């Protein structure tokens, strides 16, 4: 059944009014990952699989605030980031099943989603290791005098890696246009941020590098979008990095193999009560911008695409073994 609700796939336009699109994107990510979880339990997916469920408002709000050609890079909990940027669920699911139709041809896996066309530069699995890469993306923009910002996402667990500090220092020193978005979901794997990080206020880490910062409610997509828009507008006028702590929560364990016994049911219930999708839906209902039937229609479409992605992935071919060495080196040189 075709969707009649005006969902705007073009995010540049969506933040000029199409808020239903934000809801739709969060639902796409949620429904995709529910299917991924199911497929993992059915042993269709190997290796690690880190779900983003609960954190959707962070990336959807941030992407809505950014321009389509701004650069984006993230850590290993990356499904939502690729989908928010416009990757197809089919390519994302095929990657989880290791298929040649995957977003990284089945060679990257869950933690290594790359989507060059949508300026999504990975998908990086060594905690903190991609923050220097973000400074490099922004450095290239400065080098070429491009009006482009870089959004760099990472978890609270990255705050204690050397690469985090080196990247923040270089970004501030060289006035690079990077928004460092710390998605604080309170846990680095099973260790609570208070047991891992010596500062109480995470934004103090940015202050150490004379970098401006703010805290946003990462469960509120509008707040994330509006805050990030302000940050990006200022950054385009006066290039300088910015640190955002987005307070959020993941409902699932660190990875599929983690039952998350380190937290209580009460804590989880409290956050479920603040669910970014449920919350935004009721805001839109109250404002008369959405009715229940429309919501059901959008959700049905998200569920349909998620289910379809599993079928697509299952019927896709594995990468050919004869291509094993194809991507170790690129042929040729800049002669």
Partner 1 sequence: MREITYRQAVNEALEEEMERDSTVFLLGEEVAEYSGAYKVSQGLLDKFGPKRVLDTPISEAGFAGLGIGAAMVGLRPVVEFMTFSFSLVAFDQVVNNAPNMLTMSGGQFSIPIVFRGPNGPAHQLGATHSHATEPLYANFPGLKIAIPGTPRDAKGLLKTAIRDDNPVLVLESELLYNTTGPIEDKEVELLIPLGKGEIKKTGSDVTIICYAQTLRLALAAAGTLAGHGVNAEVLDLRSIKPLDLDLILNSVAKTHRCVIAEQNKPFCGIGAELTYQIQREIFDELDAPVARVAQEEVPMPYNESLEEAVLPSEEKIVQAVYQVCYL
Tell me the C-alpha distance between 229 and 61, whole Å: 9
Q: Is 208 in the site for partner 1 (CB under 8 A)?
A: no
* Residue nearer to partner 1 on the CB measure, 292 or 331: 331
Task: Give me 43's structure tokens.
Answer: 């042993």
Q: Which is nearer to partner 1, 140 or 268 (CB)?
A: 140
- Binding partner 1 (rule: CB under 8 A), the pick from 11, 84, 137, 305 is 137
The single residue among 114, 242, 243, 280 that binds partner 1, judged by CB under 8 A, is: 114
287 lines the binding site for partner 1 (CB under 8 A): no
Query: Of 80, 37, 42, whose CA–CA distance to 62 is shortest?
Result: 80
Measure the CA–CA gap between 47 and 258, rounded to whole angstroms.
Answer: 13
Nearer to partner 1, 43 or 334 (CB): 334
β-pairing, 191-192 vs 213-217, is unpaired
Distance CA 84, CA 86 (A): 5
Taking residue 53's Cβ as centre, other Cβ atoms within 10 Å add up to: 20
Choice from 103, 206, 231, 302 touching partner 1 (CB under 8 A): 103
Taking residues 158 to 197 in sequence order and writing x for each that binds partner 1 by CB under 8 A, - otherwise, the string is: ----xx--xx-xx--x------------------------
Rounded to whole angstroms, the maximal C-alpha distance in the chain is 62
What is the nearest approach in angstroms of partner 1 to the Cβ of residue 300? 31
CA distance 138 to 285: 39
The reply on whether position 143 binds partner 1 by CB under 8 A is yes
What are the two backbone dihedrals, phi and then psi, of residue 216, each rounded to the nearest 5 degrees?
Answer: -125, 155
Based on the shown chain and the rule CB under 8 A, indicate whether residue 105 belongs to the binding site for partner 1: yes
Residue 171 CB, shortest distance to partner 1, in Å, is 9
CB of 214 to partner 1, least distance (A): 24
Q: Where are the beta strands (DSSP E) in 119-241?
A: 120-123, 150-155, 178-184, 187-188, 191-192, 213-217
- Which C-beta is closer to partner 1: that of 125 or that of 219? 125
**What number of other Cβ atoms are within 10 A of residue 8's Cβ?**
17
Instruction: Report if residue 4 touches partner 1, rule: CB under 8 A.
Output: no
Q: 55, 74, 90, 104: which one contacts partner 1 (CB under 8 A)?
A: 104
Q: Measured between alpha carbons, how far is 290 from 285 in angstroms, rounded to an integer?
A: 5
Q: CA-CA distance, 253 to 262, in Å (whole number)?
A: 9
Q: How far is the CB of 57 from partner 1 (least distance, A)?
A: 27
- Closer CB to partner 1, residue 86 or residue 129? 129
> Which residues make up the interface to partner 1 (CB under 8 A)?
71, 73, 102-108, 112, 114-116, 121-124, 126, 129-140, 143, 162-163, 166-167, 169-170, 173, 326-335
């Amino acid at each position: 059944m075709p969707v009649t609700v005006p969902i705007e796939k073009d995010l540049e336009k969506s933040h000029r009014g199409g808020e239903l699109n934000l809801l739709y994107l969060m639902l796409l990510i949620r429904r995709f990952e529910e299917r991924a979880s199911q497929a993992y339990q059915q042993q269709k997916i190997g290796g690690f699989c880190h779900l983003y469920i609960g954190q959707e408002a962070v990336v959807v709000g941030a992407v809505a605030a950014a321009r389509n050609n701004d650069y984006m890079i993230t850590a290993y909990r990356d499904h939502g980031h690729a989908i928010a940027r416009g990757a197809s669920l089919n390519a994302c699911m095929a990657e989880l099943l290791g298929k040649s139709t995957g977003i990284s041809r089945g060679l990257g896996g869950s933690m290594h989603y790359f989507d060059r066309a949508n300026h999504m530069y990975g998908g990086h699995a060594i905690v903190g290791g991609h923050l220097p890469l973000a400074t490099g993306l922004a450095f290239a923009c400065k080098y070429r005098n491009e009006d482009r910002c870089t959004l760099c996402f990472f978890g609270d667990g990255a705050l204690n890696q050397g690469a985090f500090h080196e990247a923040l220092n270089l970004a501030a020193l060289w006035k690079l246009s990077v928004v460092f978005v710390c998605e604080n979901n309170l846990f680095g794997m099973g260790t609570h941020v208070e047991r891992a990080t010596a500062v109480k206020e995470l934004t103090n880490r940015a202050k150490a590098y004379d970098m401006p910062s703010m805290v946003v409610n990462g469960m509120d997509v509008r707040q994330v979008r509006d805050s990030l828009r302000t940050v990006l507008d200022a950054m385009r006028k006066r290039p300088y990095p910015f640190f955002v702590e987005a307070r959020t929560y993941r409902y699932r364990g660190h990875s599929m193999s983690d039952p998350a016994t380190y937290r209580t049911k009460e804590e989880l219930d409290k956050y479920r009560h603040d669910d970014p999708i449920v919350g935004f839906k009721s805001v839109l209902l109250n404002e008369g911008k959405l009715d229940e039937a429309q919501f059901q229609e959008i959700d049905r479409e998200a569920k349909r695409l998620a289910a379809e992605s599993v079928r697509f992935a299952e019927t896709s071919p594995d990468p050919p073994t004869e291509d094993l060495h194809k991507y170790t080196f690129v042929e040729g040189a800049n002669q």
